[in-house]
Amino acid sequence: MAEAVHRIHARHEFRGMRTVEHYFTVPLDHSAAGRDAETITVFAREYVAAGHTPEEAENLPWLLFLQGGPGGRGNRFGSLGGWSKAAAKDFRILMLDQRGTGLSTPADRNTLPLRGTARDQAAYLEHFRADSIVADAELIRKALGIPYWTIYGQSYGGFCALTYLSFAPEALREVLITGGLAPLTGPADDVYRATFQRVAARNAEYFSWYPEDREIVERIAGHLRATAEQLPDGSPLTVERFQMAGAFLGGNTRVDSLHYLLEDAFVETPGGPRLSDSFLDQMQGVASRRSNPLYALMHESIYGQGQATDWAAWRVLDEYPEFRPDATPLLLTGEMVYPWYFEQDPALQPLRDVAGLLAAKSDWKPLYDMARLARNRVPAAAAVYADDIYVDRKLSLETASAVRGLQVWETGDFHHDGIADDGEGIFARLLGMARSGRR
């Protein structure tokens, strides 16, 4: 295996923590690593509680945090709080900007055309899944001289953690997962069937809390069918893009913010009622993937193993017509990605052909080693949220049963954003579970 070239950019201390900014040069394609192999940069920021002296910090074990996504950069902490506060008592935390995100070599509408044709760009992005992220982490671990570390995976980070357990378990002291037990087999269609059902139930729950919002949603949908409205970037706000406000339904800490979004949707103008600037500004952040285009490009590929996903959510939508934009009553959607994203979002339009090629790719490499997971010896614990609309409970428990020794804490107290709700408590509980089951 190649070695990562490592350099430290800067060190800072503020608000009770010290940070170190690390840059690593790693192969684009780990299977073709060699002297002349193409390389990219991966950025990581280290966080240490200032209560530890520098000498003490040098002896702390490391914790690698793998965030949600795909396509989300590492968290930027203004101070330690929640799970990071709990973890920093006993760990040095390393937060990756996973390849293609943040300060790592970017992959977006501006940079991808440097690769050449749409086919060239798609071939490049084949190296941006969990297997490559884990291979990056392994080179980083070795460059930092870490014999083994604890990993903590949230959502897609949990998917990456299962890949890590599959291909480099010897590097792991223990594994903690929240809302991220990926299905290990099966087509992506199964994931989206479960997702549509969960999101429909969550819609019903939300409108039972805020029945007045049912009328507002219908009013907005009717208005958009009859009146052209534009988001701040100049692109149209369509009914289907408005449905993306269902992203608020995915967590306890965000769900009530949907009500705040809807409550000031309309203003009176000389030409009649129009959508307010405040509402449109907030919808811009919901309906555009400008800041994380890899999410739209790579989302379905995280379920692709040996077969094409072929726009699975779009195809499965035919089985759930209640989610169509012309349905009455209108339902808000979850994390599904559809082909029209690449027609209506200006940040994604240049990548439409690339997205089509990725959706059609039928020879995705395996992300998990079922035999190795079945004989797992790394202490591991996972939180499974009973009503999680993004990572289905039933599929999660099936995965848990396939990983030897994985301890599960199933709870209905949290949704997908549990660690934003009680991160300190969740982290402490999972760490305790993993360590109590250590062999």
Return all residues near 194 (Cβ < 8 A) that are at least 6 apart: 392, 394, 395
Q: What are the backbone angles phi and psi of residue 133, rounded to the nearest 5°?
A: -65, -40
Separation between Cα atoms, residue 250 and residue 88, nearest integer Å? 27
Task: Using alpha carbons, select from 136, 144, 143 the residue that is nearest to residue 160.
Answer: 136
Q: Which token pair is 405?
A: 């020794």
Q: How far from 334 is each of 103, 238, 337, CA to CA, in Å?
A: 28, 16, 9
Residue 391 near residue 368, CB atoms below 8 Å:
no
Task: Using alpha carbons, select from 291, 290, 281, 295 the residue that is nearest to residue 344.
Answer: 290
What residue type is 323 in one-letter code?
Answer: F
Q: Which token pair is 88?
A: 């920093």
For 394, left (φ over 0), alpha (ψ -120 to 50), or beta?
alpha
Q: Which token pair is 149?
A: 């570390």
Q: Please report which helix (H) or strand (E) contains residue 191, including its range.
A: helix 188-209
Separation between Cα atoms, residue 325 and residue 296, nearest integer Å? 19
Q: Which token pair is 108?
A: 């977006």
- Tokens 């910090």, residue located: 57
Could you give the 3-state DSSP secondary structure of residue 48? strand
Return all residues near 286 (Cβ < 8 A) that are at least 6 apart: 244, 245, 247, 248
The set of catalytic residues is: 155, 363, 416
Task: Provide the total of helices (H) and of strands (E) in the chain, helices listed first.
Answer: 17, 11
Separation between Cα atoms, residue 10 and residue 262, nearest integer Å? 43
DSSP per-residue letters across 287-319: H--SS-HHHHHHTGGGG-SSS---SHHHHHGGG
